[in-house]
Amino acid sequence: MSFYTKHIFFCNNVRKDGKACCSQLGAKQMYRHAKDKCRDEGMLGEGKIGISESRCLGRCEHGPVAVVYPDNVWYQYIDEDDVDEIITEHLIGGNAVKRLQIK
C-alpha cells in the first residue's frame, strides 16, 4: 500500500526570466488553500491524502497546474472552487474532474 491514497502536487515555480509561471497565477495561494482545507478536515497523512508544492512541472503553457498521483491526472485550475472540486471529486471520490483536466 502507498503512503498516501492520492498525492497532489501544485506547481509553484518562480521564473526569473520574466516568462509566465504558475506562481504568478496564484498557485501558492491555491496550494495553501488545499493544504489548510484538508488539514482542517483531517484528510492529510498516512493512508489519506498528500498535498505538496513543487517547482516546475513543465506544463507552463497550461498554468496554474497540479498533478495527482498515482493517477497521473493533470489539472489546470483557476480558483478555490476548482481546487475544492478536485479535492472532493478526485482526491476523495476517485473521479477525475474532466472539465479541469489537461492532457
Residue with grid cell 498535498, as numbered in its chain: 51
Handedness of CA 34, 103, 68, 18 (dihedral sign): negative
Whether the per-residue pLDDT at 1 is higher than 60: the answer is no
What is the pLDDT of the chain when averaged over all its residues?
93
Among the ranges given (25-29, 70-74, 79-83), the one the predictor scored with the smallest mean pLDDT? 25-29
Q: Are 64 and 16 in contact (CB under 8 A)?
A: no
Summarize pLDDT for 20-38 with one digit per residue, the tens. Answer: 888 888 999 999 999 999 9
The pLDDT of residue 8: 98
Query: Which pLDDT band holds residue 83 (cuts at 50, 70, 90)?
Result: very high
pTM given for the model: 0.93
Q: How many residues does the chain have?
A: 103
- For the chain, list the domains and their CATH numbers: 26-102 (3.40.30.10)
Q: How many CA atoms lie within 13 A of 56 on its CB side?
A: 10
